[in-house]
Amino acid sequence: MDEQALTDKLLNHAVGVTPQRLRIAAVMLDAPRHLSADQVLAKLNRDGGGVSKATVYNTLRTFTEHGLLREINVDGQRSFYDSTVAPHHHFYNPETGELMDIRADRIKVSGLPQPPDGTEAAEVEVIIRLRKRPAV
């Protein structure tokens, strides 16, 4: 995705465009990604710095609030940000910390009970925790 496309994407989501946001967008929004704030910061620093930690955190939050990213919590330690915002599910490997997408149409969840009074289901999230397969 070139700079113009990223710029358009930000503008379409009512997010102001700045050089820092474009750099973060280039890391997060040009392909399916699952990164923590720290990983984004590390990647930017590796490629020449220029974005502060606070700005990375604030920008990821801003992107999330505007529907450009999705926040995922799997381990209570840190949040991951997922560039795929359409509904889908995840494999999670606790040993490597890796998250993998599972397309929503692969998995069928049936038998959902009635949500409690006054509420409705907003989102169904399926996380499949992996473990090493024992040698056969």
Partner DNA sequence: TTCGTTGCAAAGGATTTGCACTTTA
Partner DNA sequence: TAAAGTGCAAATCCTTTGCAACGAA
User: Which residues of the chain form contacts with DNA (CB under 7 A)?
Assistant: 15-21, 36-38, 50-55, 57-59, 61, 76-79
Q: Is 71 in the site for a copy of itself (CB under 8 A)?
A: yes
Among residues 96, 27, 93, the alpha carbon closest in space to that of 55 is found at 27
Partner from DNA, a copy of itself, none contacting 58, C-beta within 5 to 8 A by type: DNA
Of 9 and 89, nearer to a copy of itself (C-beta) is: 89
Of 11 and 128, nearer to a copy of itself (C-beta) is: 128
Q: Is 62 left (phi over 0), alpha (psi -120 to 50) or beta?
A: alpha
Instruction: Show the binding pattern over residues 103-122: x = contacts a copy of itself (CB under 8 A), - = does not.
Output: ---xxxxxxxx-xx-xxxxx
All residues at 6 or more sequence positions from 114 whose CB lies less than 8 Å from its CB, including other chains: none
How far apart are alpha carbons 30 and 27 in whole angstroms?
A: 7
HSE of 111 in the Cβ direction (CA atoms, 13 Å)?
0
For CA atoms 65, 110, 130, 94, give the dihedral sign.
positive
Pick from 13, 53, 66, 129 the residue near a copy of itself by CB under 8 A: 129
Instruction: Point out which residues bind a copy of itself (CB under 8 A).
Output: 71, 73-76, 78-79, 91, 93, 100, 102, 106-113, 115-116, 118-133
